[in-house]
Amino acid sequence: MKIYVTRRIPAQGITPLAEHEVEIHAEDTPVSHNELVEKIRTADALISLLTDEIDADILGYGKNLKVIANYAVGYDNIDIEEATERGIVVTNTPDVLTDATAEFAWTLLFAATRRLGEGERIARAGKFKGWAPTFLLGQGVRGKTLGVIGAGRIGTRFALMSKGFEMKVFYYDEERNDTLEQELDAKRVDISYLLHASDFVSIHLPLTRYTHHLIDAHQIFRMKSTAVLVNTSRGALVDEKALAAALKAGKIAAAGLDVFENEPQITPELLDTENVVLAPHIGSATHEARSAMAALCSKAVLSVFGGQMPSNIVNKEVWPKRRE
Nearest approach in angstroms of CB 215 to ligand DGY is 17
Q: Write down the catalytic residue from 196, 263, 269, 323.
A: 263
Which range touches ligand DGY (CB under 6 A), out of 68-76, 146-154, 222-230, 301-309? 68-76
Which range touches ligand DGY (CB under 6 A), out of 25-33, 51-59, 67-75, 111-119? 67-75
Q: According to CB under 6 A, which residues from 2 to 61 bind ligand DGY? A: 50
155 near ligand DGY (CB under 6 A)? no
Q: In angstroms, rounded to a whole number, what is the distance separating the alpha carbons of residues 64 and 304?
A: 13
CA 142 to chain centroid, in Å, comes to 26
Cβ closer to ligand DGY: 75 or 170? 75
Annotated catalytic, 324? no
Strand arrangement of the beta sheet that strand 45-48 belongs to:
21-24, 2-5, 45-48, 67-70, 89-91
74 near ligand DGY (CB under 6 A)? yes
Pairing of the two strands 168-172 and 187-188? parallel
Among 5, 14, 97, 314, binds ligand DGY (CB under 6 A): 97
Q: In angstroms, rounded to a whole number, what is the distance separating the alpha carbons of residues 30 and 262?
A: 14
Among 223, 283, 305, 312, binds ligand DGY (CB under 6 A): 283
* Residue 212: CB atoms within 10 Å: 15
Q: In angstroms, rounded to a whole number, what is the distance separating the alpha carbons of residues 66 and 61?
A: 12
Cβ closer to ligand DGY: 54 or 184? 54
Residues 71/50, Cβ–Cβ less than 8 Å? yes
Cβ closer to ligand DGY: 5 or 72? 72
**Catalytically annotated residues:** 234, 263, 281
Binding residues (CB under 6 A) for ligand DGY: these are: 50, 72-74, 97, 283-284
